Chain A
Amino acid sequence: MSATRAALPPKRRPVEADDRPVDRRFHSTLLRHLAVVLAAGLLLVAVSYAIEPFRNFQLATVAAYLCATAGLTVLTGLNGQLSLGHGALMATGAYTVALCQNAFADRGMSGGWLLPLSLGAAIVSTVAVGAVVGVAAARLRGPYLAGVTLAVAIVVPALAVTFDGVFNGEQGLSVPVEPPPLSLGPYFPYERWQLWLTGAATLLALLLLANLIRSRYGRSFRAVRDDEVAARLAGIHVARTQVLAFVVSAATAGLGGALLAVLAQSVSPGAFSLTLSLFLLMAVVIGGLGRLTGALWGAVLLVALPDLTHSVTELFTLSPAVAQRLEGNLPLAIFGLTLIVVMIAAPGGIQGLLSRLGRRLRARRS
């Protein structure tokens, strides 16, 4: 019965933000989410002018990762399905964008509408792959599902090498992306344009996800996670709900991968290894499973931690060989260790700790 219960402690769960009585003026969920997204968008534009280009690029990377982690947290946190294959789904999206953009460039087509078209194609292809994996996943539980998605994560990057006629093997493909439109002025920094693009796509995806979570479907996701038998008795089609959750999650992962490819302007199998899949899972667990804000913390960590360890190792004078070994591996070790500690000591993750802190502060005030 507990076969699909998610990692959150099922008993004594704090009252979720969803259940709190809402202020009358913000009664419409859609309007409330729209307001938040608009505010976030304005803030992002303001921030993009305030910080240097490299930070803009980093923030854009956070946005791309956020797409994938938000989808994964819906799948794992809200629906109780563990996927180790989201790195592979991101690769699907990334390669689709690369193939589309190259096809457009080869035919000499240009225009601002091409990139959204490629991103759409990336989402469609990832949805197709996600549906196939999701149908299989809906029949599997716990460690079996983890094993299958682990195999997917290892196999898909290898396919890029097997069919190197299309995917160009380990070299990967380049992704031609057009410069920012001239109407923004001739000296508009490219990184700011990248942040705008990825930020807009991610905010749109988040808006849709947030509404989905609060809808009938979101409630079915949670019902299936908590007790499959009870959900079935309540008239929920369990398998269909699980496939839907997987497909939604795959779509966002595909978009995230596509955005990463657009940011890096290239794709290669090395960028979508098993480690990436583990990173995504780690990010959502450390951030706090099942919460979009947790996904945000996770995405920030994914970008910030390697940067941070880089600056820390630079403080010490190390031989180049040692520095190179530390560079790639120290963030991994910290991620792994944090993941274990979080799972044992604070299963709610960062967001869980923050909301507990917030509740305590409110309780003291009243």
Chain B
Amino acid sequence: MDRFVFLTVDGLSRGAVYAAFALALVLIWRAARVVNFAQGAMAVAAAYVAYTVSTTTGSYWLGFVVAIVAGLLLGALVDRVVMRHVDHASPLNPVIVALGLVLLIQAVLGMVYGNEFRPAEAPFSRSALTVGGVAVLSPYDLFVFATIGVVVSGLAWLFARTPVGLRMRAAAFAPEVSRLLGVNVGGMLTLGWALASGVGALAAMLVMPTELGLHPHAMDLVFVSAFTAAVVGGLDSPPGAVVGGLVVGLLLSYVSGYAGSDLTPLAVLVLLLAVLLVRPGGLFAPVAARRV
């Protein structure tokens, strides 16, 4: 029972990070109809920038803030310099370009920092507090939950309650009409990319201390897990991404706890295939008319 509680809390904490990362994927998908396969590499790049800042200044929090800013800038840059110029007539094209970005970013990181693991420090203790003799939550888990909670509710508030959020939704939903009504559609798209990339960078900062450490490929499996989370919830649904993230986090935690951590990649693949074959629109998809 102790073990079950521990695995559940651990899974929820991991799942919260996947949820944030999946949310970043959903943001870009809704804004630009692109699944950003470079999201993981971009987030790792931001985390490396934070690593440099943290090790030179000695302040974790300065690095944390810098990571998010770097994420925002990188997202805007990728949209303005690369994605804006890709022919979107075929859905393959942006995917291929994003994969080119993955190669490029990982190679540049490898050239600058080398292909070895760098330690990623956690700002709070990762040893669990015990409540009534049962190990439950670590301070770091609390930090993760709080941060993700703030980010998710902040994004919800942004999209539902602010004029900027309304413009972003309009630009994604009906670009031509919005442009006629005076919405800066291109600017909104860039903002969407920047936001998504910033959230991705934040997720990378949160997940790094729980993984082996910083490495150019550190986010590969996290990306696949987060993509699975986004698909479980439906690529079009932000609440779905959050629920999907928690589901994937719990599943991975149980599998690695009860069956062995080697099997977690396989579990992700099986879940992804199962969802796509049984309910391709995700658990939260509205019933769609059947395509001919």
A288 vs chain B, min Cβ distance (A): 13
Give residues 264-285 of B contacting A (CB, 8 Å): 265-266, 268-269, 272-273, 276-277, 280
B58 interface hit (Cβ, 8 Å) = no
Of B96, B273, B277, which contacts A339 at CB under 8 A?
Answer: B96
Known: A2-B89, A274-B220. A159 touches B266 (CB 8 A): yes
Shortest CB distance B156–A (Å): 24
Residues of B within 8 A of A285 (CB): 96
Contact B91 A278 (CB under 8 A): no
- CB nearest neighbor in A for B227: A147
Question: What 0/1 readout, one digit per residue, does chain A (69-107) give for beta carbons within 8 Å of chain B?
Answer: 000000010001010100000000000000000000000
Give Cα A275–Cα B106 distance, bound, in whole angstroms: 10
Shortest C-beta distance, A327 to chain B (Å), equals 10
Known A-B contacts A136-B276, A162-B262; the reply to A332 vs B103 at CB < 8 A is yes
Q: A329 and B110 in contact (CB under 8 A), knowing A143-B91, A162-B262, A336-B102?
A: yes
Contact count band on A: 35 or more
Q: Are A155 and B103 closer than 8 Å at their CB atoms?
A: no
**How long is the Cα–Cα vector from A3 to B106 in the complex, in angstroms?**
29
- Evaluate contact between A148 and B93: CB separation under 8 angstroms: no
Q: Please tell me if B196 contacts chain A, counting CB pairs below 8 Å.
A: no
**Other-chain contact of A335, B89, B103, B269 (Cβ < 8 Å):** B103
A148–B228 alpha-carbon span in the complex (Å): 9
Per-position binary interface string of chain B over residues 202-221, scored 1 when its CB falls under 8 Å from any chain A CB and 0 otherwise: 00000000000000010011
B96 touches A151 (CB 8 A): no
Docked Cα-Cα span, A162 to B115, in Å, equals 23
Supposing A144-B276, A148-B273, A158-B262 touch, asked if A282 and B90 sit within 8 A by C-beta, the answer is no
What is the minimal beta-carbon distance from A272 to any residue of chain B, in angstroms? Answer: 14
A115 within 8 Å of B (CB atoms): no
Q: Does A360 contact B (CB under 8 A)?
A: no
CA distance A5 to B152 in the complex (A): 35
A7 at the interface (CB under 8 A from B): yes
Contact of B268 among A5, A151, A331 (CB under 8 A): A151
Chain B residues close to A by CB (< 8 Å): 29, 34-35, 37, 82, 85-87, 89-93, 95-97, 99-108, 110-111, 114-115, 217, 220-221, 224, 227-228, 231, 235, 260, 262-263, 265-266, 268-269, 272-273, 276-277, 280, 292
Please name 16 pairs of A and B residues whose Cβ atoms are closer than 8 Å in the assembled complex, sorted by A: A6-B92, A80-B90, A80-B92, A136-B277, A143-B235, A146-B35, A151-B227, A151-B268, A158-B265, A162-B266, A329-B110, A329-B111, A332-B104, A332-B107, A332-B110, A333-B111
